[in-house]
Amino acid sequence: MPHRKEGAQPRVRLLSRRPEPRRGCAPRSRLRLREPAALEMELLPLWLCLGFHFLTVDWRDRSVTATAASQRGCKLVGGDTDCRGQSLASVPSSLPPHARTLILDANPLKALWNHSLQPYPLLESLSLHSCHLERIGRGAFQEQGHLRSLVLGDNCLSENYKETAAALHTLPGLQTLDLSGNSLTEDMAALMLQNLSSLQSVSLARNTIMRLDDSVFEGLERLRELDLQRNYIFEIEGGAFDGLTELRHLNLAYNNLPCIVDFGLTQLRSLNVSYNVLEWFLAAGGEAAFELETLDLSHNQLLFFPLLPQYSKLHTLLLRDNNMGFYRDLYNTSSPREMVAQFLLVDGNVTNITTVNLWEEFSSSDLADLRFLDMSQNQFQYLPDGFLRKMPSLSHLNLNQNCLMTLHIREHEPPGALTELDLSHNQLSELHLTPGLASCLGSLRLFNLSSNQLLGVPPALFANARNITTLDMSHNQISLCPLPAASDRVGPPSCVDFRNMASLRSLSLEGCGLGALPDCPFQGTSLTSLDLSSNWGVLNGSLAPLRDVAPMLQVLSLRNMGLHSNFMALDFSGFGNLRDLDLSGNCLTTFPRFGGSLALETLDLRRNSLTALPQKAVSEQLSRGLRTIYLSQNPYDCCGVDGWGALQQGQTVADWATVTCNLSSKIIRLAELPGGVPRDCKWERLDLGLLYLVLILPSCLTLLVACTLIVLTFKKPLLQVIKSRCHWSSVY
C-alpha cells in the first residue's frame, strides 16, 4: 500500500463525503462515525459471495482429494476396476469411464442413487456384494444398456424391494443376477424377476422362500442355472418349473422338502436336493428321455433306492447318509400284489396313481452310463442279484459304513470297469468268489476293506486283480499265509497272501492282530508304503521279513508294536529310499541305527522310553537329511541332551516346544533349559569309583586317627595288663 501522510483523510471518506448538515442535524463527527457502518452494509453481499466461493473451492478440493485417494485404493487392470473393501460411502466418480467390470464389494454404500453409475455407461459386470444396500433408485441402471452380470448378494434389498424391482426392469439384456442373502420371500423374488426374459443364471440362495409355484419364474424361458439352496422351501407346486425349458442346473440343497414325486424335468443335467428331509424320490414314468447326468440325494431320509428315469444319461449318483436298504429278503410273501406301493398324486380335481415295486426299485432304472455311485452311510445289508450288473460303466463304488455281511463277486459284478471300491466299516465276514472267474476286478486300483470281520480272502481274488495299487485291510483279524495259498482250496479262506501282487504299492495292515511275519510275505510286490502298526510281535525282533521290499519302501509305519532297543537287528541301513518312518508308541530306549546315505525326511519317535538324545554325530547326520522329527512324550534326562543343539539348529524338531526332560524330579521343557550343563548334573558326570573313594577315604582316616590316640593314651596300663596275663618278665 502507498504511504499515507500524517493528517491526510482516508480515501474512502473522500468518496463518501456529503454537504454540510443543516441546523438540527447531527454534527460532523457523528456523521463520520456512521459512514464506515454504511460502507460495510454496502460490501456485505461481496463478502458473502467471496466466503461462499472459498467454501465451494475447499469442498471441491476435499472431494477431489477423497476421490483420488479412493481411486488410488482401487486396482485397475485393463477394463476391470476392483474397489472392494475400500470403505467407500458412494460410488467413485473419477474412475476410467471405459471400465467394463466394476467391483465394489464390502463397501458401506447403503444406497445406489440414480446418478451413481452415470460416469460408466459401458459397464458389462457390476458387483455390489455385502454393501449394506437398502435402496436402489429406480433409474440407477437407466444408462446401463451393456450390463450383463449383476451381483447384489448379502444386502438388505427386502426393505425397498419394489423400488429395486423397478430398477432391475430397466436391464433388458441382463444375463446373470445374484440376489442371494437378501431375506426375500417368493413374492418379492417373483416381482424382481418379472420381465427379465434374458436371464440365464439366477441365485436366490439364503433367502426366506417357502413355496414355489408357476408365477415365481414366469417368463424366464432362457434360464439355464437356478440356485435355491439354503431357503425354507417345503412345497413345490406342480408346474413350478415347466416354463423353464432351457433349465440345466437346479440346486435345492438345504431346504425342507419331504419328497419328490413325478419328477419330470427332462431337460435338467444336474439336480442337487441334498440336505433335505426326502423320504421318496420318484421319477415320472413313461419313455421320456432325460438329460440328467448328476443327481445328489445325499443327507436325506430316503428309505428306498430312488426310482430313477427309465432313459437317462446319469453318470453320478450320490446317496450318502440316508436310511436306505433292500428289503426283498425280509419280505416273505407269495403274492406279487403285496410287494408294490401305490402313490396317489392329487392335483386339484385330478388324481394320478403311481405303482412302484418296493423291492426292485432299480430294475426299471437306466444306469448304463453310471460311473460314480456313493451309497455310504446307509443300512444296506446285501446287494440284490443283478444290481451291479446294470452298471457296466461304473468306475467308483462307495459302500462304506453300511451293514453288509457278505459280498458275492460274480461275473460282471462288480463290473469290469470298476477302479475304486470302498467296503470299509461294514460287517463283512466273508467274500464269495465264483469259481473260474478269469478277469475278476481286472481294472481295480483302490480296494478298501478296513474295519470289517474278515479272516481271509479267496486266494484267486488278488491273483486276478492285476492293477491294484492301494489295498487297505486294517482292523480285520486276518493272518498271512506262510506259503502261497492254493487257488482251489475248499472252504472259507483262513489267511491272506500278498505275494506276487506286482502292482501293489501301498498296503495297510494296522490293527490286524498279526503274529510273527512268515518268510518273504511281500515277495513279488512293488510296495513303497507299508503300515504294520498295532501288531505286537509281528517283527519278532528282526526286520528280516521286510528285506524283499526294504530297498523300495518310502513310507513305513511301525507304531504301537512293542519294539524295544534289545532288538539288535533294528537297523534301517538297508532302507535306502525310506522317506517317512513312524516308530511312535514303542519302548525304544536308544535311537535306531541308520547307515549309509540317509534319505529319511520324517521321523516320529514320540511316546517311547528315550532318556537321552542321540550322540552329536548321529544328530548331525539326522539334521542334514531330516525335515521333520517328533521327539515329545519321552522321559528324557536333562543331563543327557547333548545332541539337542544340532537338531535344534536344523529346525527339524516339529514339537520342540513340548519336549520335556527330568531334572531332580522336576519336569522342565527342553526349550527352556539354560545353556551349559546344569549344576545338578556335575556330580552325576564324575567317575563313580572316584566318587566312592572320596566318600570312604575320610572315614578310614578318621578311624585310624582314633585308634592311634587310644593306643597312645592307654599304652602303659595296657602293657602291664598284657604282661601280667602272659607272665612276661620285665627287663630291667
Model confidence pLDDT, tens digit, residues 260-296: 998 999 999 999 999 999 999 999 877 889 999 999 9
Q: Provide the residue range defining the domain that includes 591.
A: 563-682
Distance (Å, whole) CA 294 – CA 296: 7
> Please, which pLDDT band fits residue 47 given cuts at 50, 70 and 90?
low
Percent of the chain's residues with pLDDT above 90: 52
In a domain, 147, yes or no: no
Range in 305-309, 346-350, 402-406, 589-593 with the lowest mean pLDDT = 346-350
Out of 477, 498, 531, a domain closes at 477
H helices present in 603-659, as ranges: 616-625, 644-649
Dihedrals φ, ψ of 311, to 5°? -135, 115
Cβ atoms of 142 and 118 within 8 Å: the answer is no
Contacts of 180 (CB under 8 A, 6+ apart): 153, 154, 203, 204, 205, 206, 207, 227
> Please, which pLDDT band fits residue 651 given cuts at 50, 70 and 90?
low
Asked whether the predicted pLDDT for residue 358 surpasses 80, the reply is: no
CA atoms lying within 13 Å on the CB side of residue 71? 13
For residue 414, say if its preceding peptide bond is cis, omega within 30 degrees of 0.
yes
What residues form DSSP beta bridges with 76?
A: 81
pLDDT tens digits, residue range 16-38? 334 444 334 344 443 343 454 55
What average pLDDT does range 660-666 have in this prediction? 83
In a domain, 658, yes or no: yes
- 228 vs 641, which has greater pLDDT? 228
Distance (Å, whole) CA 414 – CA 392: 9
Distance (Å, whole) CA 56 – CA 36: 29
> Please, which pLDDT band fits residue 448 given cuts at 50, 70 and 90?
very high
What average pLDDT does range 161-181 have in this prediction? 96
> Please, which pLDDT band fits residue 12 given cuts at 50, 70 and 90?
very low
Three cell numbers at 481? 499265509
H helices present in 626-731, as ranges: 644-649, 688-713, 715-726
Strands (E), 316-388: 316-318, 340-347, 350-357, 372-374
> Please, which pLDDT band fits residue 662 given cuts at 50, 70 and 90?
confident
In a domain, 146, yes or no: no
Asked whether the predicted pLDDT for residue 642 surpasses 50, the reply is: yes
In a domain, 412, yes or no: yes
Distance (Å, whole) CA 434 – CA 520: 29
Q: Could you give the number of structural domains in the chain? A: 2
In a domain, 280, yes or no: no
- 350 vs 220, which has greater pLDDT? 220
Contacts of 41 (CB under 8 A, 6+ apart): none
- 594 vs 393, which has greater pLDDT? 393
In a domain, 456, yes or no: yes
Out of 477, 510, 526, a domain closes at 477
Query: Residue type for 382, please?
Result: Y
Distance (Å, whole) CA 579 – CA 513: 26
Distance (Å, whole) CA 110 – CA 89: 8
Asked whether the predicted pLDDT for residue 4 surpasses 50, the reply is: no
Coil, helix or strand for 710?
helix
- 473 vs 723, which has greater pLDDT? 473
Distance (Å, whole) CA 661 – CA 670: 6
- 136 vs 42, which has greater pLDDT? 136
- 22 vs 396, which has greater pLDDT? 396
What is the total residue count of the chain?
732
Q: What is the pLDDT of residue 185?
A: 97
C-alpha distances out from residue 338 to 140, 305, 328, 415, 540, Å:
64, 18, 12, 32, 61
What average pLDDT does range 80-108 have in this prediction? 94
Q: What is the pLDDT of residue 649?
A: 58
In a domain, 52, yes or no: no
> Please, which pLDDT band fits residue 56 given cuts at 50, 70 and 90?
low
**Residue linked to cell 492282530:** 513
Q: Is 183 left (phi over 0), alpha (psi -120 to 50) or beta?
A: left
Q: What is the CATH number of the domain that holds 412?
A: 3.80.10.10
Percent of the chain's residues with pLDDT above 70: 75
H helices present in 346-498, as ranges: 459-464
What residues form DSSP beta bridges with 653?
A: 629
The verdict on 673 and 579 lying in the same domain is yes
Asked whether the predicted pLDDT for residue 524 surpasses 50, the reply is: yes
Mean pLDDT (the chain, rounded): 82
Q: What is the pLDDT of residue 490?
A: 54
Asked whether the predicted pLDDT for residue 303 surpasses 80, the reply is: yes
In a domain, 326, yes or no: no
Out of 640, 666, 682, a domain closes at 682
> Please, which pLDDT band fits residue 44 given cuts at 50, 70 and 90?
low
Distance (Å, whole) CA 462 – CA 524: 13
Exposed / middle / buried, residue 454 (Cβ in 10 Å: 0-12, 13-18, 19+): buried
Q: Is the pTM of this model over 0.85?
A: no
What residues form DSSP beta bridges with 294?
A: 270, 316
What average pLDDT does range 162-185 have in this prediction? 96
CB atoms within 10 A of CB 715: 9
Three cell numbers at 492? 472259507
Distance (Å, whole) CA 282 – CA 352: 13
The verdict on 567 and 675 lying in the same domain is yes
Q: What is the pLDDT of residue 379?
A: 95
CA atoms lying within 13 Å on the CB side of residue 266? 9
Task: Report DSSP letters for 95-152, one per residue.
Answer: S-TT-SEEE-TT----EE-TTTTTT-TT-SEEE-TTS---EE-TTTTTT-TT--EEE-
Range in 5-9, 308-312, 460-464, 685-689 with the lowest mean pLDDT = 5-9
Q: What is the pLDDT of residue 21?
A: 42
CB atoms within 10 A of CB 173: 12
Distance (Å, whole) CA 711 – CA 708: 5
Asked whether the predicted pLDDT for residue 60 surpasses 70, the reply is: no
Three cell numbers at 530? 507299508
- 511 vs 591, which has greater pLDDT? 511
> Please, which pLDDT band fits residue 361 given cuts at 50, 70 and 90?
low
Supply the DSSP symbol for 43: H
Q: What is the pLDDT of residue 617?
A: 53
Task: Report DSSP letters for 61-81, one per residue.
Answer: HHHHHHHHHHHHHSEEETTEE
Range in 20-34, 366-380, 436-450 with the lowest mean pLDDT = 20-34
Q: What is the pLDDT of residue 550?
A: 93
- 15 vs 195, which has greater pLDDT? 195
Cβ atoms of 306 and 325 within 8 Å: the answer is no
* Sign of the alpha-carbon dihedral angle for 403, 405, 411, 414: positive
| Cα angle: 367, vertex 266, 362; to 5 degrees | 25
- 641 vs 459, which has greater pLDDT? 459
